[in-house]
Amino acid sequence: MRRCVASVENQSFRDWEQIIVDDGSSDGTEDYASKIRDSRVNYIRQRHTGIENLHIIYNRALNESRAPLVAIVEGDDFWPSWKLGMQVPVMSNRDVLLSYGSAGLVTTGNAPYAVVGGHLRNRDVLMNNPIGTVLKRLLFTNFIPSVTLVIRREALDTIGGFKQPNGTRAVDSATCVSLSLDGKFAYIPRVLGYSQRHTLSVTHGINSSYQLAAKEGLSACVFGLQFLRENMQNGRLPVHLWYLEKELRHHVERIPDLALLNNARLLLARQEWTKGGVAFSRLAKSQFPVFKVAGLLGMLAVAARFNFERFVGNVNAFPMQFE
């Protein structure tokens, strides 16, 4: 929490407010918050509601805020000093509802091991231009790290605040999907946030358990299908995107293998060879050829102690700068 708050206080853009909602923690957050003297920081403590009600926590913070732009930073996450200074000017374009960038993943020792988000080559998808284009990828994989988001407040109010599908532990993907038909997005090719992973991190726990990730993936797909069908009926979803409903239904069958692949890749990036080998060997038994091949390649990489994550996706694509 100290690094989280300090990273906000160190922003080059100075006109901000930080709303801290403490969901009944017992880790000393209340004691630390009582010593904060920055008047721009507003601390709120509430009875524990749990990660399954994360949208309630987020929306309470949203209701307490006054600023026209909203950003997200969890207690384990932190921002580079340039984040708001780069994103706020982009939001002066009224056609843009949200801006985002890439996020650096760091260990508890502050060592970078991966960069995630914004790895797509299709600029139209990245920028949601024309409106709705982002759904071609966002319905199938969340490439927008929450720690990098800056969202227009009035856009959030229009959709009723942050969204969290039943059975999931995150609000970022569903919220971005819900905003996808209301305006354009702006992708900035820089690391705009850092996320720490350790054994006490809820998010890391999700990534380490592909079974839970698969369950949440299914819940996210149900939310996506409902969103598509509703907006097909009311005419808001462009006709040329109607095919996404069929593709998303087919995607459901692949979610368990996709969750396992993501878990295996994370283990490989962290050089946890034994666990990674187990995950890739399971993947090699997939009924889908693409996952079977990925599993076999992963097994070879583990056997050779070769981290191919440094050469694919977005790992180490940007310099990891710390202050």
Averaging pLDDT over each range in 109-113, 205-209, 221-225, which range is the top one? 221-225
- 130 within domain boundaries: yes
Q: Is the domain of 76 the same as that of 91?
A: yes
Q: How many domains would you assign to the chain?
A: 2
Which CATH number fits the domain that encloses residue 149? 3.90.550.10
Q: What number is the average pLDDT over the span 261-265?
A: 84
Helix (H) or strand (E) holding 22: strand 18-23
Please list, in sequence order, all residues whose beta carbon lies within 8 angstroms of the beta carbon of residue 211, skipping any fewer than 6 positions away: 259
Q: What number is the average pLDDT over the span 94-103?
A: 96
The rounded distance, in Å, linking the Cα atoms of 35 and 96 is: 37
Domain boundary among 202, 236, 263: 202
Domain boundary among 202, 220, 254: 202
pLDDT tens readout for residues 175-212: 999 999 999 999 999 999 998 864 334 444 434 456 77
The rounded distance, in Å, linking the Cα atoms of 323 and 318 is: 16
Q: Tell how far CA 91 is from the center of its chain.
A: 20
165 pLDDT higher than 80: yes
Domain boundary among 202, 224, 248: 202
φ/ψ (deg, to 5) at 96: -95, 125
Please list, in sequence order, all residues whose beta carbon lies within 8 angstroms of the beta carbon of residue 171, skipping any fewer than 6 positions away: 54, 55, 58, 146, 162, 163, 164
311 pLDDT higher than 60: no
274 pLDDT higher than 70: yes
